[in-house]
Amino acid sequence: MKQLLLLALLAYLNAPELGVSDPSAEAGNISATQLPGAIGVLTAAQMRADFDLMRQSLEEAHPGLYRYSTKREMDLAFEAQRAKLNRPSPKIHFLLVVSELLAAIRCGHTHCQPDDETQHAMESVRFFPLRVMVEDGRLAVVSNDTPDDQTIRPGMQLLTINGSKVEDVLRKMWPLEDGDGDIETGRRMHIEKTFTIYYWALMDQSADFRVEARDGAGKMVTA
């Protein structure tokens, strides 16, 4: 846990962002539902202690903590995120809470990454097999990494994933994205890069996916 803490505390020094080397892990790997046990669970007291130390460090050392967000806005963000640390949770939950807090600073160089244990476990997860592009609040398919089902093709617009509307999925991802001020380009590009990871962490740890899409001619496709 201390390593995760240190990575969060030093996030403003341009640490690498949340991600794994291969977002389309092979089907032979362990299922996503096994991950919480693999990476461990933190108590509420552990998370809050780390969170409080992170806040203290950011307030003392971050050179632009109030550049884009006022002190009152950041105080409210600290309080709101800390309130989420009220029960034992997998490390990934703590990471998401910290990520949303750091995104509130609105500094493109301030973000965190998983500790080595979490990073290693995430490399074995069966992630969502489609790579996507964000276009005006919609998701377009860039490639399909499923070896035995190419029903969903590049260029199609994704509508739902396991019953969740794409707009709702993106709405949950957006608050985790850091960026300078109100610039949205970098945020959008990072969601595209790490969509599969965010989907797993925020929406669904299933290893099976059912999607609805629309092709260029307006035909609905399900796979």
In a domain, 223, yes or no: no
**pLDDT at residue 23, as a whole number:** 31
Strands (E), 6-151: 41-42, 89-90, 130-135, 138-144
- Please give the average per-residue pLDDT across 91-113, as a whole number: 89
Q: How confident is the model at residue 33 (pLDDT cuts 50, 70, 90)?
A: very low
In a domain, 54, yes or no: yes
Sign for the CA dihedral angle at 30, 33, 34, 38 comes to positive
In a domain, 164, yes or no: yes
For residue 164, the cross-strand partners are 161
In a domain, 200, yes or no: yes
Domain extent, residue 9, equals 2-216
Taking all residues of the chain, what is their mean pLDDT, rounded to a whole number?
81
Q: How confident is the model at residue 75 (pLDDT cuts 50, 70, 90)?
A: very high
**pLDDT at residue 15, as a whole number:** 34
Residue 6 has pLDDT above 90, yes or no: no
| pLDDT tens figures, 131-161 | 999 988 899 999 999 888 889 999 999 999 9
What single letter denotes the amino acid at residue 13? L
In a domain, 61, yes or no: yes
In a domain, 35, yes or no: yes
Q: How confident is the model at residue 39 (pLDDT cuts 50, 70, 90)?
A: low
b/e burial code for range 189-198 (CB count within 10 A of at least 16 → b): ebbbbbbbbb
Report how many domains make up the chain: 1
Question: Which percentage of the chain shows pLDDT scores above 90?
Answer: 48
In a domain, 222, yes or no: no
